[in-house]
Structure 1
Amino acid sequence: MLVMTHPKLPAITLMLLCSSASVLWGFPFGPVLDLDVIPRTTVPFNGLLGCNHFHGQTVNYSTLLLEDGSGVLYVGAREALYALDTANISAIRNNSSIDWAASAEQKKQCLSKGRDDETECYNYVRFLDRYNETHLYTCGTHAFRPRCAYIDVERFSFVRFEEGKEKCPYDPFKGYTGFIVDSEMYSASQYDFRSSPDIRRNFPFPNLRTEEAPTKWLLEADFVGSALLRESINSSIGDDDKVYFFFTERNLEQKPYSSQTRVARVARVCKGDIGGQRTLQRKWTSFLKARLVCSFPEYELQFNILHGVYVLEGPNVQDSLIFAIFGLEWKNVKTSAVCQYSIRDVQAAFDGPYMELQDSKWREYTGKSPGLRPGSCITDQHRAQLINSSRDLPDNVLMFVRRHPLMAREIQPIGGRPLLFKKNADYTNIAVHKVTALDGNTYNMIFTGTDDGWMHKAVQLGDRVHMIEELQLFKESQPINNMVISYKQKSIYVSAASGVVQVPLSSCMRYTSCYSCVFARDPLCGWDGRQCVDISTYPVRSNLTQDIQMGSRGCDNITEDGFVTHRTRSVMVGHDLLLLCELRSNLAVPHWTLNGEEMQGYAVDTGYRIGTDGLLIIGAQTRHGGHYSCYAVENNVWIPICSYMVRVQPVPPPSPHLPTDPTALAERFFTTSTLSISPSSESNEQPLYPLPSRPEFHTNLHMEAMYISMVAVLGGLCLVLTVVLLYVSFCAHSAPSHRKYTQQELSITPTTERKQSSHVELKTISSHCNGRTDGLYAAASTDEEFLQIISGDGQVSPNKEPPPAPPLPMPPPLPATEYANGLSASLPTVLRKINGNSYMLLSQMDSDMTSPLYHSFTEELNRILEKRKHTQLDMQPDESSV
C-alpha cells in the first residue's frame, strides 16, 4: 500500500504536540499558577552579604552536626570529616579534619561488584551524631561495604571501628535518616543489596526491625527524615516517647488517587518497644503508618513525593508542627509545595481505624479488633492489666499488628491545602526558625533549599507566606544537601556537593531606606530612623519601625532611597523615546504620571507603551512633551523612582540649496561625494568645484566627464558593497546558530549636514531581576567612537573576537543632561521585560514572558518597525532615527 506524506505534515504534527503539551500543563496547573509565591528580591551569588564559605579537599558535603553550645559544626563529606568554628566556618581549627578513605583493595572489590568507580566506590559519610560526652559516632558506605567508627572529640581522631552493614546503606545515594538519643541509635534506609527498606533500632540490645511476612510493612520506601517527640513528659496516661519516620513508598491503596504509583507516609514506633515474646520477636510491636496528604483538592492536584521534613517543637509536644516539602511524581515538571501538619492530627490518625490487605489492595478494615489498642505504646491502662512491656502483650494483639500496619485516616495539612506553592523549583531541604517580632507575635521563618543551589527565605503570615528573598548560595548549579540553624550565631549552615556556606538569618543592611526595610517584612529587621538594623541587637525597641502583617506602615520618607533622580530628554518629532525606570522589587508594579496625571499606556492611540522597566514613546508629537514621573507601587504605596522632563523638538526644514531637478540632483551627488572625501571641506552650501559657465561644447564635455566619474564612483561603491556582503555572508554561515549574542559593531559616519552626532552602543544584558540570567535583552549607552548594534537574527560565536570597527572621526560630545532619543549613559543594571525600541528588536528568549501586555507591547513595536522599513529615507536624517 502506498502512503502519501504531506510536506507540511511534520510541522502540523509538531504544532499538535506543542498544543497538547500546553493543555497538559494548563490542565492541572492553570488555576494554581496564580498561587505561585514570588520572592520579593533576588540576590545573585556576588550580591551575598556576610556569608562565610568552606571548601575542603573533597566533595559531597552531605552530613551536618551542629553543637551550638560548644560552637562546633561537624561536617561529613566523601572520605573526610571536619570540625568547623560556627562563628566563621571559613577557617579550619587545628587538627580538625580526618581523612577516611576506602582502601585500594576495597575499591577494587567495589568495581568487581559492577559499581561505578567515579561515584560509588568511595566512602561517603552518611551518619554523624553525638554518642556520649566524649565521643561521636559515624558511619560511611566505604565502597559498598559500610563501616562505622567512634571519634574522640577532644583529639578529633578515630578510636575504634566496627561493622556497619545494619546501620548504614551500601548505596551512597539511597534515602537515609537516623539519630542517636539516650545512647540508642535509630535509622531507616534500604540497607542491603536487595534494597529492602527497614526501620531499625541498632543498639542497645535487643535490636528491632520491621516485619516482611506475611505482610510487608514497607514497600520500596525512600526515607527523608526522622524525629523524636517526648510525649511522655507531663502525660496524664503514662504515655511513651515516639519516634517518627517520614518517607515515600509504593502505593497499593484502593482509593481515588490509586493511579499514583507512590504516596507520602509517616510511620511511628514507641521508644520503649522491645519486641514480642513469641510473636514479633525482635520486631516492632508498635509500628503504624499513615498517609500524608498535600494537595489542592479543588484542582485535583496531588503532591505525592516527599522530599524533606522539619519538626518544629512547640511549648508542649501537642503544639508541635511538621513542615514537609513535596514534589510531583512527574519527573519533567519542576513544582514544589510546602504543607504544614499538626502533631495532634497525626496522633488522631494513629488512633483511628485500620486498613487491611485484601487481594493485593489495602482497604479499610471493618471487622472487630482486640480489646487492647493494637500498635499503641504501653500506658497506665496496660500497666493496670499487668502489661508492663511489649513482651507482655497478648499474641492476638501482636498478630493484629502484624497484619494491619496501615491506618485508614489520612493526615490533612493545616488549612486543607499547601502553605506554599512554587513553580519552576524543586525543593530538596527545609528548615524553620521561630521569631518574635516587634508586634509581640511569633512568626515562623521558612528556609527552603532548591536543586540548583538557591535558598528561599519566607515568613509565615497565618495561612499564607510572604517570600522575603531568594539567594544564590553556590556559583555552580547543585542540589542543597542539608540545612541547620544556629540560634546562637544567628546563622543557617547550608551544605551541597562543592562545600558549606554560612548565611546570616537576615541581612538587614541590604535595605537602604525605611520603605525597603518595611516592605521586606523580615521579622528580624527594623528601621531605626537612619538604617535597617537587626532588632535583637537593640535592648530598647520602641523607636524601631516594622510592619510584618501589612508591610506598608510606619515610614515618613516617601522615597525609596532618600532621593529621586531627575533627567532631561529631547526627541525630534516623529521619533521614538525610551524612558527607563528600574524596579528593585519583584513585587512592585511601575506606574507613570504625565504632568501629575496617571497614564494608561495600553490603548492604541496613546502613542506610548509601558513595560516593567520603562516607558516607550512611539512617534513623539508635541503633546508628548512634559514632566514624566515613574513610581514603584507595592502594598498600595507609591514610591517615586525617577522623573524626566521631555522636550519634543520640531523637525528642521530642508536645506534651501538642495536642488530638486534630476540634473541638479546628479550634480549635487557628484559634488557631495567629492566633498565627503576631501580633507578640507568646510561648508555644505558651496561646492568644492563650482560649475563653470562655458559654451555648449565645453558644457557637454563637462557633463560627459561628470557622468563617467559618477559611473566610476558607483562602480567602486558596488564593488565595496559586494565585498562587504560576501564577508557578512561568510560570517553568518560560520557562526553557530545555537550560541548567544556577543557583540556586532556597525560603524556609521555622520553626514556633514547632520545637526548633532549621537553614537550609541547597544549591548545584551541580564534579563532577570538582580542578576539571575534567564534571557537576552538590550540596553543602550553613549560611546565616543562607534555605534554597536546587536543583531536580532545574526549570532556571533562567543569564542571569537568581533571584527574591528573602522576608524571614525571624533564627533563633538553631547551635553551631560540631554541625549538624543533619551539614551542615557547611566543605565539600569536590569531590563527585565522591554525587549525592543525604535533602534532594534531582539528576539525574545525568556520563557517567563507570558503577559498579554508584554505581547501587545512587542507586537506594536514590530508593526512600527515594519512600517518604517517601507518609508522613503530622509535626505537629511537625524541620528535618533537610526
Structure 2
Amino acid sequence: MKEIILTFLSVLTSRFCASFTDYEPRLILHQASADRLQYHGTQNNTVLFHKEGRDDIYIGVKDAVLRISLEQKRIMQSFSLCPRKGQNWNETSCGYITTVIQQFEDSLFVCGTDGHKPQCWKLYLPAENQTSGISASFSGRGISPYSGSQNFLTLVVDGDLYAAAPLNRDGSLLQFRRNRGKRKNTWMHDKWVLEPTFISAAWIKRKDDPENEKIYIFFREKNSDSNPEADPWISRIAQVCKVDEGGPKRFFQNTWTSFLKARLICGIPEESLYFNRLQDIFLQEADDWRDSRVFVLFTSSWNSSAVCIYSLFDIARVFQNSSFKDFHENIPNPRPGMCVADSRQLPGETLSVVKNHAEMDEWIQPINKQRPFYISSLKYIKIAVDRVMGANSELYNVLFLVTENSIRKVLEHNSKPFIISETFLPNHVGHIQTIQLDSKKRKLLVGVLDELVLVDLQSCQNYNQSCEDCVLARDPYCAWTKAGCIPVDNTERGNIQDVAGGITEICHSKGSKTHRKKRDTLEMPSCDVPQATYAVPLHLPFYLSCPIHSHHATYIWEHNNQSGQCQQAQSACLQLIAAVKEDSYGTYECYSKERDYTRCVKAYKLVPKLDNTATSVSAQGAAMTFTVSLIFALCL
C-alpha cells in the first residue's frame, strides 16, 4: 500500500504542481469586488473614452453612451442614441452598437452600427454646453463598422480624424483613411494590403520638425505565401505623412503618396520560433521622438505570447534607408515615402514606386536585435506600460499584460522581465474586452461585458508583512516606511526599496527595526511563529501544509535536524508522511528562502496518540482518506 501511495503521489504532483521560477508571478492576487462598477447595456465590445487624470469616463453601451464618475463609482448621465424613441436608453433599442468615442473638434465624436447603417453623432458635454446632449447626426461609413464583430480603429491627429473601417456591409474594402477634418480626405491603394486586421495607429510628434511627422499603422495581414509551413499571418507597420494630401489629379489623387509598409519580426531565429500574430501595442513616448519605444504584443499559432520592444528611431531608419521589395532600378528623387510640402507635386517616378513596391526589403527588428523581452505560454490580448519613478528617483517600466480574466504585472529591468504579480478578476466577471491606463490616478481601467473594473497599479498592501517582503516584491510603486509598505507617491524620497535586486539587507543597512534573520545557508534562523500540536496514531498516513506566499521562494521542511524539499501545490507546500513511525514525531518547521532572506512560515509538533482504540479506520480506508484530502490540497 505504501508503494502504491508514493507512486500515485509522484504522478499527482507532476501533473498538478506548478513550476515556480522568476518567469512565473511572484504573487497570485485576486481583484477586490469593491473596485467594480456594474451597469446595464451588455454588448460584445466595450468602448471607453477617458482623459488621464480626469474623474469622468464615457462608456459606449447598446443604444447609449454613459458618463460615469470614477470617484463616486456611479453613472452620472446617460445619452440615448435613439432620440426618436425617447431618452430612456434602458427600455428602448434601435440596434445601435457603439464603436467609436473620440474627442474631436468641439465635442465627443460618437459612432456606431445603427442597425448596419453606420451613423455618427456629436455629443456635447455639460461643461461645454448648457444644453448638453446628442446632435448633428451624419453618416459613419468608413469610420464605424457595420457590425460590432468587424475590424476597425480610429485616431485623431491635429484636428483630423483617421479611421479604418469596412466601406461595404460584408466587411470588404477595409482601408486606413483620413475621413474628416482640416485636410483633404485621403485613402489607400487597394493593392497595398491583403485582408488586413488593423490593430492600432499612432501619431509620432516631432517638435523640431513638424513637417516630417508620421502616422504609424500597426496591423496584420494575410500571408501571400501559400506554403503549408508558413504562418497564415504577417505582422506589419506602415507609415503615412501627416501632411500627405494625395497625388496630382492625373495620378493618385486623394490616395496616400507616402504609404510604405515593413514587416515586424519577433522571435528566436536560431530556433526557428516566431510570433507572427500582432495583438496589441503600447507607444511609450519620449521628449525626443528618437527615444520613443513601442511595446508590441504578439501571439503564435499555438496561442503562446511574446512581447518585443522596438525603437522608433530604428523604424524610421528602415523606411528611410531600406531598398524596396522587388524594385531593382535606381531609387527616384524625392525618395518614395518622404514627407514633402506639397504631395500633389510629386513626380510620377516616385509615385509609381509607392504604388507598386510599397513594401520594404528590410525587416524591423527589436531593439539591439534581441530575443523577445518576454515569452509566455498564456495568450495575452492587451498590453499597457507605465513609467514609474522609484524611491531612488530612477525611472522603471512596468508592463501590464492582460488575458481574458487576469492582469500580469511585469517589471522591465536590464532588458529582463521580473513577474511581480498576477491579479485575477472574480469568476463571475465576464471576459476582459478593453483596457485603458491612467498613470496619474495609478489605475488600470478594465472594461468587461457589463461592468468597469478599477485595478490599482500599486497594491502595496500585498507586500506589507515586513520590510523584507516589501523589498522582495521589487515593485517600483512601493517602498517600506515606518507606516509599512506604502506607495512611493506618498513617501519621502529615499525610503527603503531595491527594485534592481530585491536584496533585503537594505532593510538593516538603512536602520530598519525589522528583526534581522540569520542567512547562513547551512543553518536556518530560529522559528518564532506559533506552533500547532497534533496527536497522530502510528501507521496512518498524514500530511502537513505550509501556505505559499511568494512563488519565487524555495520552501523547505526541517525535522529532526534534517531538511527536505516540500511537495508544492498552487497555494500550499506539503510535508507528506506515507505512514507515521516513531521517528515521525517531533517538531516540523516550514521555511521559505528567497534571494538573501530566510524566514519560518509555519511550525507543527506531532505527538503520539495514546488511545488508538478510537481509531477504527482500516489502513486502506486511511490511505484513501489521505489521498482524497491530498488531491484537494494540491488543487487549492
1:176 is aligned to 2:155? no
- 1:282 is matched with which residue: 254, 258, 275? 254
Q: 1:610 to 1:438 in 2, by over 3 A?
A: closer
2:371: which partner in 1?
417
Aligned counterparts of 1:201 and 1:86: Cα–Cα separation in 2 = 33
Does the 8 Å CA contact 1:61/1:78 hold for their aligned counterparts?
no
After superposition, the C-alpha distances for 1:93-126 in whole angstroms (9 at most, x for unaligned) are 2xx211224989xxxxxxxxxxxxxxx9932211
- Give the residue type in structure 2 aligned to 1:377: C
2:80: which partner in 1?
99
| Structure 1 residues 532-681: aligned runs within 5 Å | 532-538=485-491, 540-542=492-494, 544-553=495-504, 554-555=506-507, 556-557=514-515, 564-599=529-564, 613-648=573-608
Aligned counterparts of 2:536 and 2:108: Cα–Cα separation in 1 = 73
Q: 1:321 to 1:50 in 2, by over 3 A?
A: farther
Q: 1:320 to 1:405 in 2, by over 3 A?
A: same
What is the deviation of 1:576?
2.8
- Give the residue type in structure 2 aligned to 1:209: W
- 2:292 is matched with which residue: 316, 320, 345? 320
Percent identity of paired positions between Structure 1 and Structure 2: 27
Q: 1:306 to 1:219 in 2, by over 3 A?
A: same
2:393: which partner in 1?
440
1:501 is aligned to 2:453? yes
1:340: which partner in 2?
309
Does the 8 Å CA contact 2:282/2:295 hold for their aligned counterparts?
yes
Does the 8 Å CA contact 1:50/1:504 hold for their aligned counterparts?
no
After superposition, the C-alpha distances for 1:493-513 in whole angstroms (9 at most, x for unaligned) are 111222211222111122231
TM-score, scaled relative to structure 1: 0.62
Q: 1:146 to 1:375 in 2, by over 3 A?
A: same
1:301 is aligned to 2:301? no
Does the 8 Å CA contact 2:223/2:231 hold for their aligned counterparts?
yes
Aligned counterparts of 1:430 and 1:646: Cα–Cα separation in 2 = 49
1:64: which partner in 2?
48
1:186 is aligned to 2:162? yes
1:874: which partner in 2?
none
Aligned counterparts of 2:245 and 2:376: Cα–Cα separation in 1 = 43
After superposition, the C-alpha distances for 1:500-547 in whole angstroms (9 at most, x for unaligned) are 112221111222312322222211111114421111012x233x2212
Q: 1:520 to 1:610 in 2, by over 3 A?
A: closer
1:243: which partner in 2?
215
| Structure 1 residues 201-216: aligned runs within 5 Å | 201-204=178-181, 205-212=183-190, 216=191
After superposition, the C-alpha distances for 1:623-655 in whole angstroms (9 at most, x for unaligned) are 333322111222242221012233346xx8xxx
Q: 1:616 to 1:322 in 2, by over 3 A?
A: same
Aligned counterparts of 1:98 and 1:289: Cα–Cα separation in 2 = 40
After superposition, the C-alpha distances for 1:550-578 in whole angstroms (9 at most, x for unaligned) are 22323343689x96231223333333331
2:9: which partner in 1?
none
Does the 8 Å CA contact 1:338/1:418 hold for their aligned counterparts?
yes
1:351 is aligned to 2:320? yes
Q: 1:837 to 1:507 in 2, by over 3 A?
A: farther
The residue matched to 2:433 in structure 1 has which SS?
A: strand
Q: 1:393 to 1:484 in 2, by over 3 A?
A: same
1:230: which partner in 2?
205
1:82: which partner in 2?
66
2:175: which partner in 1?
198
Aligned counterparts of 1:369 and 1:102: Cα–Cα separation in 2 = 56
1:527 is aligned to 2:450? no
More helix by share: 1
1:25: which partner in 2?
none
CA RMSD of aligned residues (A): 3.3
- Give the residue type in structure 2 aligned to 1:642: K
The residue matched to 1:366 in structure 2 has which SS?
A: coil
Q: 1:570 to 1:101 in 2, by over 3 A?
A: same
TM-score, scaled relative to structure 2: 0.84
After superposition, the C-alpha distances for 1:792-849 in whole angstroms (9 at most, x for unaligned) are xxxxxxxxxxxxxxxxxxxxxxxxxxxxx9xxxxxxxxxxxxxx87633479699999
The residue matched to 1:613 in structure 2 has which SS?
A: strand
What is the deviation of 1:436?
1.0
Aligned counterparts of 1:839 and 1:69: Cα–Cα separation in 2 = 54
1:768: which partner in 2?
none
- Give the residue type in structure 2 aligned to 1:338: V
- Give the residue type in structure 1 aligned to 2:81: W
Q: 1:373 to 1:391 in 2, by over 3 A?
A: same
Q: 1:412 to 1:141 in 2, by over 3 A?
A: same
Aligned counterparts of 1:348 and 1:551: Cα–Cα separation in 2 = 38
The residue matched to 1:510 in structure 2 has which SS?
A: helix
2:233: which partner in 1?
262
Q: 1:58 to 1:755 in 2, by over 3 A?
A: closer
Q: 1:646 to 1:274 in 2, by over 3 A?
A: same
Aligned counterparts of 2:389 and 2:240: Cα–Cα separation in 1 = 34
Aligned counterparts of 2:470 and 2:304: Cα–Cα separation in 1 = 30
Aligned counterparts of 2:488 and 2:54: Cα–Cα separation in 1 = 25
| Structure 1 residues 9-20: aligned runs within 5 Å | none
What is the deviation of 1:318?
0.7
Aligned counterparts of 1:624 and 1:755: Cα–Cα separation in 2 = 17
Does the 8 Å CA contact 2:221/2:233 hold for their aligned counterparts?
yes
What is the deviation of 1:246?
0.7
Q: 1:97 to 1:377 in 2, by over 3 A?
A: same
What is the deviation of 1:473?
2.8
- 1:490 is matched with which residue: 442, 459, 473? 442
After superposition, the C-alpha distances for 1:710-751 in whole angstroms (9 at most, x for unaligned) are xxxxxxxxxxxxxxxxxxxxxxxxxxxxxxxxxxxxxxxxxx
Q: 1:488 to 1:34 in 2, by over 3 A?
A: closer
1:127 is aligned to 2:132? no
- Give the residue type in structure 2 aligned to 1:122: G
After superposition, the C-alpha distances for 1:462-516 in whole angstroms (9 at most, x for unaligned) are 2221222222235336432221122332212111222211222111122231232
Aligned counterparts of 1:243 and 1:413: Cα–Cα separation in 2 = 20
- Give the residue type in structure 2 aligned to 1:259: A
1:39: which partner in 2?
25
1:366 is aligned to 2:366? no
More strand by share: 2
What is the deviation of 1:64?
1.4
After superposition, the C-alpha distances for 1:122-166 in whole angstroms (9 at most, x for unaligned) are 32211111113x411111011211001111112441121001112
1:403 is aligned to 2:364? no
Aligned counterparts of 1:131 and 1:610: Cα–Cα separation in 2 = 54
Does the 8 Å CA contact 1:59/1:499 hold for their aligned counterparts?
no
- Give the residue type in structure 1 aligned to 2:305: S
Aligned counterparts of 2:83 and 2:528: Cα–Cα separation in 1 = 62
- Give the residue type in structure 1 aligned to 2:515: N
User: Which consecutive unaligned segments of at least 5 residues does structure 1 have?
Assistant: 1-32, 105-119, 357-363, 379-387, 602-608, 653-753, 761-786, 792-820, 822-835, 850-882
1:53: which partner in 2?
37
After superposition, the C-alpha distances for 1:430-474 in whole angstroms (9 at most, x for unaligned) are 1111001123321111112212x2221221112221222222235
Q: 1:624 to 1:69 in 2, by over 3 A?
A: closer
- Give the residue type in structure 1 aligned to 2:373: L
Does the 8 Å CA contact 1:98/1:156 hold for their aligned counterparts?
no
Aligned counterparts of 1:644 and 1:92: Cα–Cα separation in 2 = 52
Does the 8 Å CA contact 1:610/1:616 hold for their aligned counterparts?
no
